[in-house]
Structure 1
Amino acid sequence: MLEDGFHDVPAGKLAMIVTYLEMTSQTDTKDVPLPDGLSFRRVTADNAWYRDVFTRVGGTDWLWYGRLLLEDDALTAILSDPKVEIYTLSRGGQDLALLELDFRKEGACELAYFGLTSDLIGTGSGRWLMNKAIHLAWEKPISRFHLRTCTIDSPQALSFYKRSGFTPIKRSVEIADDPRNLGVLPETAGPNVPLLRP
């Protein structure tokens, strides 16, 4: 248990407040159109495709890095699991979104990753994709749809998830190596989070 007050974060590390959210019954969604020129599809993802989209959606702006640290075999095991579903939005042959639904825990679905590249932000694509995620999750026999977000993600993420029908249930503090210091992401990634060298 952390005591009240300030706690130094070692140089070279990131400190994040993680918020856990859940939905225990399907929320109502308002129909919104998929923006013109976009198509939605399920992806049979290989490691190269996944790492590319993962980095373009979350690595450059928001320091998504967890899956970039995985060895090839570990990532392949996740992506090839029939209980993990990967989807994207595409335009002009380029994949511009990542929706990952993880049904590996019986009775639950984790919204493992959800995001858009910057050129789709503000187009209504996020709302359309979230509505689709909610419908896809609750088509399965689940009683809980859940996710985590943190303070280095988009500042709009937490409020977006709450507006989508998720309820915050818990918070934790996560300390991790800064992926820019590890060379996993370029030093220019995550411009909203100062880079402190060890």
Structure 2
Amino acid sequence: MTRQPAGTEVAYTVTWLEMTERPGYPWPHAPANIPVTLLPSDTPPVWYFLALYDAVGRDHAWEDMHAEDPETVRAMLHHPDVTLYTLLSDGWPHGFFLLDWRRPGTCELAYFGLVPEAVGRGLGTFLLQTAVHTGWDRDGIEKMTVNTCTLDHPRALINYQKNGFAPVRQEERSRILTRDRDLSRIPE
């Protein structure tokens, strides 16, 4: 089956991860054959964030933010301790990450991912390591956190671990899909 229709109940496992010290790897270099720009935005419009969220997460059942009140999303996006970073190449967004420093001493990598058309081009490690270093660059950070689930990209958990995050907790959950999920676009 390559499509899970809206209304399907899916079971999944959520894994929370932490990094309690700055990573030992250096700031990454973008892949040599792909010109990229990384743009921060402290006050993006809600529609822009939701467009990126949907482009990256549609096939991974990222649905929760679409159900949020737009004013709640706007307040989060415009908080002075939250920044959205967009990875651009060839004039269009290839991915994004959102860092949230609202909890003292902690940077949460709240959202991270590439659009399907950018997966497999060598941009994922560059973007993740850039997100990690950017998170740690704020004064007073004692740990970074992130969570992923088995609905995300199949290599998400291992990539977070390869880049310095360690699992601290797991939880089994289920949800009813509110939109169709195209499994044919998710690599094995």
Considering the TM-score relative to the shorter chain, is it more than 0.5? yes
- Measured against aligned partners, the alpha-carbon deviations of 1:24-54 in whole angstroms (never above 9, x if no partner) come to 0011225543132211110231111111111
- Measured against aligned partners, the alpha-carbon deviations of 1:64-120 in whole angstroms (never above 9, x if no partner) come to 112111111111111111111100111232112110111111110111111001222
Preserved contact between residue 62 and residue 152 of structure 1 (Cα < 8 Å): yes
C-alpha separation in 1, matches of 2:102 and 2:27: 29
Residue in structure 2 matched with residue 53 of structure 1 by the alignment: 52
Greater C-alpha radius of gyration: 1
Residue in structure 2 matched with residue 102 of structure 1 by the alignment: 100
**Residue 20 to residue 190, structure 1, CA distance change in 2 (3 Å):** farther
TM-score normalised by length of structure 2: 0.86
The structure with the largest strand share of the pair is: 2
The one of 16, 30, 33 equivalent to 2:29 is 33
CA root-mean-square deviation: 1.6
Q: 1:191 is aligned with what amino acid?
A: L
TM-score normalised by length of structure 1: 0.82
- Measured against aligned partners, the alpha-carbon deviations of 1:112-141 in whole angstroms (never above 9, x if no partner) come to 111001222122211111111111111121
Q: Which runs of 4+ in 1 moved over 6 A?
A: none
Q: How far is the alpha carbon of 1:175 from its aligned partner? A: 2.6
Residue 21 in structure 1 maps to residue 20 in structure 2: no
Structure 1 spans left out of the alignment, 5+ residues? 1-10, 181-186, 193-198
Secondary structure of 1:96's counterpart equals strand
**Residue 19 to residue 190, structure 1, CA distance change in 2 (3 Å):** farther
C-alpha separation in 2, matches of 1:190 and 1:101: 28
Residue in structure 1 matched with residue 4 of structure 2 by the alignment: none
Residue in structure 2 matched with residue 155 of structure 1 by the alignment: 154
Q: Once the two structures are aligned, what percentage of the paired residues are identical?
A: 30
Q: How far is the alpha carbon of 1:190 from its aligned partner? A: 3.9
Secondary structure of 1:37's counterpart equals coil
Aligned length: 174
Preserved contact between residue 27 and residue 130 of structure 2 (Cα < 8 Å): no
Preserved contact between residue 52 and residue 95 of structure 2 (Cα < 8 Å): yes
